[in-house]
Amino acid sequence: METTKLYYEDAYLREFDAAVLSCREEQGRYLVVLDRTAFYPEGGGQPADHGVLGGVAVTDVQERDGVVCHTCAGPLAVGSTVHGILDWQRRFDHMQQHSGEHIVSGMLCAAFHCDNVGFHMGADIVTIDYNADIRWEQVLEVERQANRYIWEDHPCRVTFPSPAEREALPYRSKKALTGTVRLTEFPGADLCACCGTHVSGSGQVGLVKFLSCQKFREGVRLELVCGGRAMAHLCRSWQQNRSIGQQLSVKPGDTAEAVERQGREVLSLKARCAGLEEELFRLLAEQYRDAGEVLLVRHDLAGDGARRLCDAVSHTCGGRCAVFSGEGERYQYAVIHPGADLREFVKHMNDALHGRGGGRSGFAQGSVAADEETIRDGIQRLGEVIATHVIPRPHGDVEKLLPVLK
């Protein structure tokens, strides 16, 4: 016997009474069938309702061959009458998302002569796939049109036309349909075959907001939030923008320009620091001119600084140069000896310092899991570096540059 679907009779029904027709245990859960239900089963891209049946939590709802099965946390006595209470906040959120998706899909499909080929209502966002190349600016224009339609509060109509009547209707559907078909209409915006629950009027959607438009397969994938989700998103965005404005001492409406200005200033400072770092490397290289084998362990290098410092010193020291940069037990290294085969040296060094890496003729780089003392002891035990040069702090002209770099 098919379950009487109260959610189709009244999508706003929050509580109901029903008779328990069956209850069976399956892997620690209880699958309950009622004679009637207001719990919507997963389908048409809309997640299942949650709530309580007879004081027991309902965690999933599925339909098969017209019978709605409720997954419950505990058993319910067959033949008893139970009281059901929906998680209304969850249901109404789903109704807002689903109705909002219908409105924007109807407008997008009409405007760009395309189809909605994918729809997923996630816990945070709705994703919709279209088989057309739609630009972001065009999406935003449809968003404006959809919100105007929503605020005009058009009614939502549900009909069950006959096959002959359907042939004359321009309704959307992802597949050919036979038998009884339920059509959901937002007049002037969308007419679509749908088994989901919807708001009674477009005004209850409240607001739609597109979040992104990305190339996907032969078309685009849009991310959308509606109703309460859209309001929550705008509130978070406003609060974040306000915080950014306070940090930059500008009004919330001026943050974009302020961030761009700060970005240009950061790039300028980075260029200046890079120039000063190059000068520091040049002075260090001069300090180690003709020093032979050189080992440097430093804690103030970022990015590829170890490689660049090693390259500078290797051109003046007249031997092999190894530079380790990091702190704690994580260091990056670069080793340069122009024209020499470093493979054997690097292999032994990696074994001694729990490292990994390699390179080509005359150059190697990688990382080690060792602290500074272990690095120095390990290199000395290798017997490959003749002189170990350690500078606790630069001096002379080098020292003058450090305050600027900091």
Which of 86, 116, 150 marks a domain boundary? 86
Q: What is the pLDDT of residue 133?
A: 96
Same domain, 320 and 373: yes
Q: What is the pLDDT of residue 33?
A: 98
Q: What is the pLDDT of residue 397?
A: 40
Same domain, 231 and 100: yes
Give a yes or no: residue 397 inside a domain.
yes
Same domain, 96 and 224: yes
Q: What is the pLDDT of residue 300?
A: 86
Same domain, 395 and 276: yes
| Cα 75–chain centre separation | 38
Task: Quote the domain boundaries for residue 197.
Answer: 92-235
Same domain, 101 and 226: yes
Same domain, 102 and 65: no
Q: What is the pLDDT of residue 383?
A: 61
Same domain, 121 and 65: no
Sign of CA dihedral 375, 379, 381, 385: negative
Q: What is the pLDDT of residue 152?
A: 98
Same domain, 60 and 14: yes
Same domain, 19 and 58: yes
Q: What is the CATH number of the domain that holds 178?
A: 3.30.980.10
How confident is the model over 163-197, as pLDDT tens digits?
888 888 999 987 778 778 999 999 999 999 999 99
Tell me how many domains the chain contains.
Answer: 3
Q: What is the pLDDT of residue 69?
A: 98
How confident is the model over 241-281, as pLDDT tens digits?
999 999 999 988 899 999 999 999 999 999 998 899 999 99
Give a yes or no: residue 103 inside a domain.
yes
pLDDT tens digits in sequence order for the chain, 406 residues long? 899 999 999 999 999 999 999 999 999 999 999 999 999 999 989 999 999 999 999 999 999 999 999 999 999 999 999 999 999 999 999 999 999 999 999 999 999 999 999 999 999 999 999 999 999 999 999 999 999 999 999 999 999 998 888 888 999 987 778 778 999 999 999 999 999 999 999 999 999 999 999 999 999 999 999 999 999 999 999 999 999 999 999 988 899 999 999 999 999 999 998 899 999 999 999 999 999 999 999 998 888 999 999 999 999 999 999 999 999 999 999 999 988 888 888 998 999 999 999 888 899 999 999 999 999 998 888 764 433 333 433 433 433 333 333 3
